[in-house]
Structures are given as C-alpha cells and as structure tokens.
Chain A
Amino acid sequence: MSPLESLSRRDFLGAAATAGAALVIGFHWSRDAAAQPAGSRPAPRPFDAWIRIGTDGAVTLLVAKAEMGQGVFTTLPMLLAEELDVDFARVGIEQAPTDAEIYSHGTGGSTSVRTSFEPLRQAAAAARHQLVATAAERWGVAAGACRVDDGVVIGPGGERAGYGELVAAASQRPLPDLATLPLKPASGWQVLGTSVPRRDIPPKLDGSARFGLDVRRPGMLYAVVARCPTIGGKPKRWDAQRAKAVKGVREVLEIPAVRDNGVFSTGGVAVVAEHTWAAISGRDALAIEWDAGAAAGESSAALSRQMEELLGREGKVVRDDGDAPAALARAARRIEATYEIPFQAHAPMEPLNATVDVRADGVEVWLGSQGPHDVRARIAAVTGVDPAKVTVHNLFLGGAFGRRYSTDHPVEAAQISKAIGRPVQLLWTREDDMRHDFYRPAARHRLVAGLDGEDRPIAWHHRMASPSIAAYWGWGGGSRPEMSEIGGAVDLPYALPAHRMEYALAQTAVPVMWWRSVEHSGNAFVIESFVDELAHAAGVDPLEFRLRLLAEPREVREPGDPSGPPLLTARLRRVLELAAEKAGWGRPLAAGRARGIAAHFSFHSYVAEVAEVSLERGRPRVHRVVAAVDCGQVMHPDNLAAQVEGGVVYGLTATLKGAITVASGQVEQSNFHDFEMLRIDEMPVVEVHAVASEERPTGIGEPALPPIAPAVANALFALTGKRLRRLPISPSDLA
C-alpha cells in the first residue's frame, strides 16, 4: 500500500500517479455542511478515495465507506463501472487505508451516493480518457474515433486493446482538467438505475461474512466490562478472586472512564478470559459495590417535568417570520397541543464490540465503525501511540443506525489490551448495549396555531425543549445546542403568514447521540400530527389541507443553516400526491380500517407515506404502507425499496413498541423483552414508488423513517377520533 500512502499525502484534485504497474486516480468527495461530521477538519485535503486499474484489467475502488446493509459496496462500484465502461461484475471494492485526515471515512447521514455522485464519475471519466488517449496515440488515430466495450478500447479500424495493457503508458500521461470531461447523460446509463445484485449478500447467507465480532487473532482473549448501572457511576469495590475462580478467567482489572476528547466511555471492571462465556460468568461473580455518583436522582419523569417547565417560558428564538404572537392574538380560533417523545436506543443486532491488539510496534484494531478515523485518533490518544502506527480494519457492520460513530467500545478494548499485553476482543452484551447507549434525545413540544374566520391557518408558534446532542458532545462551544434538534421543524414547509419557533435546552446526564434520521424522527411526528390536527379543526381533508399550504412553489431553508439544502415545496407536494394516488386516498376501505398520511423532507430527500391501520384487541395494527420517494435520480431501485422498507420498520418499532426510560439514574430496559422490536407477524405490506426525476441523487437510508409515526398516528385518529400526542403509541391512549 505504500504508493497509496504517498498518494494520500498529496493535496490537489484529480492527481494521477504511477503506482507500480497500475493506473491510480485519487479524488475528493464533494462535501457540504450536512455531510460534515462534527469536529471534522476542512483543508488540507488528502484524497478521499482512489480508482486503481491493474495490468490485468482489474478495476478496484478504494474507499473508506462502511457496508452496514445500505448497499454502498454495490452502488459506489456501479457509479465507477458506468463511467469507466466496464462490466459491473469486474469492479471490486476495497477498504482504503485509514488516514486520520481523510474526511469521508464517516458513513452516515445518507451521504455516500450523494457526495460521490459527481466526483466518482469524474474520476472514472478521467481514467477512461487516459486509457482511450493512450490507445489512440498508439494507433495514430483520433481519440474521438475510439469507443470502449467492457474495458476494451476499440479503434476505428477494429484495433483492440484492453485497459490492462494500456495502464502503464496511461499512468504517465498528464491528467486533463476533470471539469472539462463530459459525463454520460442519464439516457445513456446501462448500469445506473438497474437493480444489480448486492455484493455483500451471498456471504451473509452462508456464515462467511466477517463482522467485528467474528475476528479471531492468535493469542486473543475475550473480555466484558461490568459497568455501573447508574449513569456516570463507578465501581467502589469488587471481588476479583471470585471472578478469577471461574474456569477460564485470566485477568480482572479496572478501566477508567474516558470523558474527554470526543470520547464518553463508562469505565468499569474488565474481566478477561479464554472465551466469552467465561468472561460473562466471571463478571457475574464480581459482586461489585457501586458508587452511583451524581446522576442517581435522574428520571424520565423529572426530565419530562423539567421540559414542561421550560415550555412555559420563552426559549431561544430559532425562527421568527411574521409576528406569530400578534397573529395568534387576532386569530378566530386557536389550536394548542403538547407532544412528547422518549429516548430511543439504537439496538443494532450485532452488539458493540472491538478487537484491539496493542503491541510495542503499534496498534491494530478490528471492528465495524461508521467513523474509523475517529477510532484511530481516540485509540492513539488513550494508548499514547503515534496515530500513524494505529491501523483500523473496518469490517461489516451488523447494524449501526448512528451507534457505531461512537468510539467508547474500541477505546475500552485498547485500554484492556494495553494493560494485559494481549489482543483482546471486547463484547458489549445486549444488556450493556441497551443500558449504556447514546440515546435518541427525548423531547417535549408545545404548538399553538391560529385559524382565521375562514379556517385558514395564519400563525404557528412552536416551542421545543429537549436534551441536546451538540451540548452533550460539546460541539460548537455550546452556542447552538439546537443544531441537531430542530431540523424538520424549523424548516416548516407549509405556507403560513407567521411562524415562530423557540428552543430550550433541557439538562440531563443521559447520554445522547444521532439515531437513524436524527431529530427528524421526532420532529416529523410532531409537525405532521399537528398539521393533521389543524386540517381536522378546519374540516378539510388532511391531504387537501397540506396541498393547499404547499400550493405556491417555494424554497424553505433553515435560518441557522443558509448553506444547507433548500426544501422545495413543489417536490414535497409531488410525493404527497403520488403516495395518495398509489394508496387510493379517499377511496372506501373495509370496515374498521382507516388511512393516515404524512410527508417529510430530510437528508435532501422527500418521502410521503400513507398508512392503513385497524385495531386488533385494542392494539394498533398497520396493514399497508405506501411510500412515495423523491431522492432524485434512482441509482438502484431495489436497494431504494429495501432502504424504505427498513426505515419504515425502524420507525414503526419506535411508534408502536418500546421506549427507553430512566429511573434513579438507571436505564430501566435491558434486553428485547422490555425493549421490544417489531417482528415479522406485525410487518405491514410496504409498497415503494419513486418519483421519476432528473435531479441529482440524494440519500435514502434515513428519509423514509420520519413520516411513518405521524402517518400511523393520523390514521389512528381517523379510525378512533383519539389524537395521539406521545410515542410510543400506547393502547391506553386509544381506549
């Protein structure tokens, strides 16, 4: 990898270099505010990814993107194959070496396709240009007279040369200006827009796929950590001898909590053993006495009271269009409602784990991570090893949903490995995962809207109180605690003469972090439910009510984020219309069933969903979900459908199933018996329809989640007349 290492130090766009006998082109991902992980550095800019074409004609994309089931190991090679004119089957993908400075190692925010769409195709077009120009020069013909068929350049006289035989000479040519190279128009695409089989699927069906927990190293030991069940607490005393008496237990040691430099780990007592079961049994034998610490009085109920109290006074004004208080004062009618959403756990099916080998000559790390660059930096800091000597091997992620951005688990594994001088695999048991997550923040909202004498909405006043991800992690010096909390609410798409939003930061020790679709999961529920309330108050069909408020094509932006993507009301309107049409909105349903609709814009994409529900023994049952999606040009229709199905299920679980609650400073849930998941017998039929679009592609991993909760709640209102203002929906709220 040394040529790549040297390449990674260069800092200009579109450099080509000779890397042995291969053509290698490095390039940069596009970046924007939304794709920028917090705390990441802008310039200087080493390459984010490379294309490598070998003398055997093999094409490889080297990129540090994580495959967590979202299909990125398939969609990115598709972009490359398309523009390079090679069969998709011949394009391989490899994890690029981890470099702390490389920005695009982060995988999340539905960014991978959106930010690679142009640069990756441009780099592929540059490679194709170099190869064709080399062949043309060899044959003494014009490059424009040549064509390419699956990696073979064909000259006007029938001359043929495979890419492999051209790479040595092609790598010596100076690169053209990438911006001048034409890209294939969508009408000429042969790979993009098709549903090629996903690359990662076969190994996931025969046991051969390697996830972090499947790593086996010579001499490796297995560890678990006993953590204080009270948030922020620590061990006071424990019986190491009892744990060591368990057959197979080798070491018992305390590891300190790390609470700085972007790491929040709990610390605790590590038990290291010859296999995982001995480590777990040893942990059970520790008989630890805990020092509960300062958060022992925390509870969800107290947080709820605190947020209610915050909603009673003015918060930080984050949007103020028109004069909402004055408009409300003169409104013919005022509609007021309070909504509340709970903490949620990520609960990826592969529990957190990391395997770390701290040696004299450096550190090796194996795990599945959304942010391996952070892993590298944090492990270097905690072990005192030069970051250049920390190698991170990123494997398949058995689910992530935002949880695998955090570096607590690899840091703990590094602490243990360093202390015992052996490679260690640390497992978080499911109980560790559920009790010590960084949760989706709870939130409480109060909304007041005014209708005029003709039942038209004239004012919208929204107060939100919540713990803050930015405040917890210390981003932005605490000046904008609202930054990861108000999206999807502050950019209300509906045309209203007056719109005011205020935000208040609630204090809690409960750790919080991004959860699939981040704040949009809760905010869409609040906004789209309250709009539904206004529609019913006005006596207007909820679809028609929304379409009226979206009639005028407008661009809506977040006031604090002028560079962010604008919401185009015409596109939101289009997905509403499409979902309604495909769902048969307005047509009669069987007795005991009802429909609800909701739409939301997030991560640059638009999704509307219609849910069809009934009650079975007093419990909500969702039978059918029709989703309409505008994520620009569709790269892979079947993967789009899979991601929408997944977003709907993840969102339905939070709508109908569990919540994370805190009492006496402890998370009350511990496993899937008390934090339940939607299962196959509750799976609705999900139908996915994409808007035909010429717009550039945007993400789909997250945007299908936000509309499902309000679509279901609105359907249940239509069915029962009960307005559901808290999640998860409880049968008692429907009784």
Chain B
Amino acid sequence: MPIELNVNGASRSVDVDPDMPLLWVIRDVLGLTGTKYGCGMALCGCCTVHVDGVATRSCATPVSAAAGRKVTTIEGLSTDGSHPLQRAFVDEQVPQCGWCQPGMLMTAAELLAQKPRPTDEDIDRTLGDHICRCGTYQRIRSAVHRAARGGAA
C-alpha cells in the first residue's frame, strides 16, 4: 500500500517497503540527492532531515515513521539558499568537500529555531553527533553564531 509523505511542501506517494529507511526513499525514489548517506547507523549525521521540524537521522528512520508528516530536506531549507545559516556558511567559507554539510545545516537549523542565541556548548552538544572528516568544525561554530547574530561578522 502506498505511503503518503509531504516532502518540502509537496505531497508524494511512494510504494515501498514500510521498513525502507527514509534516506533511500528520498534519494533513490524521490530523486532528492542533497541528503547524504554516510554510515547507515545514525553515527555521522550526513543524512539529517527535519520530520515535523525535528532533526532526524533519515538513514535510521523507516519511511513508515514519516507517513503523513512534513519532511524537509536540504533542498527545502530555503528555495534560494537564503536561509540565515546557508548565508552564514558562505560568509564563513565553511564547507570543504561538502558531503557532511547538508546534515550539519539541518541540525543547526533546528537548534536556531529552538534557541536563537546558542552558546558554544549548545552547538557542541547538538552538532557533536555529526562528523566532518575535512575538519570544518571551527568554521561551523563561527557560522552558527553568525547566523544567530543575523549575519553580522
């Protein structure tokens, strides 16, 4: 039986195994490749999306758990790259290889939605479950603070 999803504001119906991780539905069935696979075990955070506004590891979330709920991927964070975090990540020149960045942004976006002026400790706690092998952590911290300040350096 098809599963009904709302992805980035659009209704989508997918006919897949209800246990299939949301990640593979998003990437391989819906063709939204901005959400990344990194570990498949919710260890690295590359696959993070929002489900009803909550940062969620899509690699370890069965698609059935997202049925009828609002899923937001990096493609839906803003329509034109204008989310304050996206702008701050440009201003701080954060990404290197870029693979982990969509997940970082989705988790950071939830943090700012809940706590508009996070401390270093808040950032460490929420993003501490993510991995960036290129080592952009120092810039991520600066960029989250910059976004919280409304973009000012």
Contacts and interface: CB of A to CB of B under 8 A. Distances in A.
Contacts of B39: 430, 671-672
B40 A430 contact: yes
B80 to A, nearest CB: 8
Contacts of A647: 135
A1 interface: no
Interface string B119-141: 00001110111111111111111
A216 B31 contact: yes
A349 B86 contact: no
Nearest to A400: B97
A683 B138 contact: yes
Contacts of A638: 93
Given A206-B74, A672-B43, A69 B86 contact: no
Residue with the highest number of chain B CB atoms closer than 10 Å, among A203, A207, A349, A650: A349
A349 B43 CA distance: 12
B37 to A, nearest CB: 7
Contacts of B32: 207
A414 B44 CA distance: 29
Contacts of B131: 349, 672, 677, 679
Interface in A31-69: 68-69
B122 to A, nearest CB: 11
A474 interface: no
A571 to B, nearest CB: 25
B40 A70 contact: no
Contacts of B16: 275, 277
Contacts of A214: 33
A275 B28 contact: yes
Interface string B16-47: 11001100100111011111111111011010
B43 A671 contact: yes
A268 to B, nearest CB: 18
B24 A646 contact: no
Contacts of B102: 205, 207
Contact of B127 (A427, A649, A680): A680
Contact of B124 (A399, A649, A681): A681
B99 A211 contact: yes
B7 interface: no
A70 B134 CA distance: 9
Interface stretch (A5-13, A116-124, A193-201, A359-367): A193-201
Contacts, number: 186
A648 interface: yes
B87 to A, nearest CB: 9
B125 to A, nearest CB: 7
Interface string A233-254: 0000000000000011000000
Given A202-B81, A351-B38, A646 B73 contact: no
A69 B28 contact: no
A247 B94 CA distance: 41
Nearest to B102: A207
Given A206-B86, A680-B123, A642 B133 contact: no
Contact of A646 (B21, B27, B35, B134): B134
B78 interface: yes
Contacts of A354: none
A8 B94 CA distance: 37
A583 to B, nearest CB: 17
B38 A349 contact: yes
A515 interface: no
Nearest to B17: A247
A268 B74 CA distance: 35
B43 A673 contact: yes
Interface string A164-205: 000000000000000000000000000000010110111111
A202 to B, nearest CB: 6
A209 interface: yes
A671 B13 CA distance: 33
B118 interface: no
A431 B108 CA distance: 27
B132 A349 contact: yes
A276 interface: yes
Nearest to B104: A680
A410 interface: no
Contacts of B100: 349
Interface residues of A, number: 63
B77 interface: yes
A87 interface: no
Nearest to B43: A672
A487 interface: no
Contact of A645 (B43, B44, B127, B136): B136
A122 to B, nearest CB: 29
Contacts of B96: 68-70, 642, 646
B40 A680 contact: no
Contacts of B21: 277
B101 interface: yes
Contact of A680 (B78, B81, B93, B137): B137
A345 to B, nearest CB: 11
B44 A349 contact: yes
Contacts of B134: 69, 349, 399, 646, 649-650
A271 to B, nearest CB: 14
B128 A204 contact: no
A207 B34 CA distance: 4
B128 A277 contact: no
Interface string A637-658: 0110010011111100100000
Contacts of A205: 74, 81, 86, 89-90, 95, 98, 101-102, 105
Contacts of A669: none
A350 interface: yes
Contacts of A645: 135-136, 138-139
B110 interface: no
Contact of B78 (A206, A209, A222, A350): A206
B124 A213 contact: no
A347 B27 contact: no
Contacts of B135: 645-650, 678, 683
B113 to A, nearest CB: 18
Interface in B26-75: 27-29, 31-41, 43-44, 46, 73-75
A205 B21 CA distance: 23
A206 B41 contact: no
Interface string A605-648: 00000000000000000000000000000000011001001111
Given A207-B34, A207-B102, A399-B134, A673 B128 contact: no
A348 interface: yes
Given A205-B89, A207-B34, A350-B38, 9 more contacts: A69-B95, A201-B94, A201-B95, A275-B28, A276-B28, A398-B98, A646-B136, A671-B39, A673-B41
Pairs A-B, 6 closest by C-beta atoms: A207-B34, A649-B135, A69-B96, A204-B98, A398-B99, A69-B97
Interface of B: 16-17, 20-21, 24, 27-29, 31-41, 43-44, 46, 73-75, 77-78, 81, 86, 89-90, 93-102, 105, 123-125, 127-141
23 contacts: A205-B81, A205-B95, A206-B34, A206-B78, A206-B81, A207-B33, A207-B35, A213-B33, A247-B17, A275-B20, A276-B28, A349-B38, A396-B98, A397-B97, A398-B98, A399-B99, A429-B40, A642-B96, A645-B135, A649-B135, A672-B131, A683-B135, A683-B138
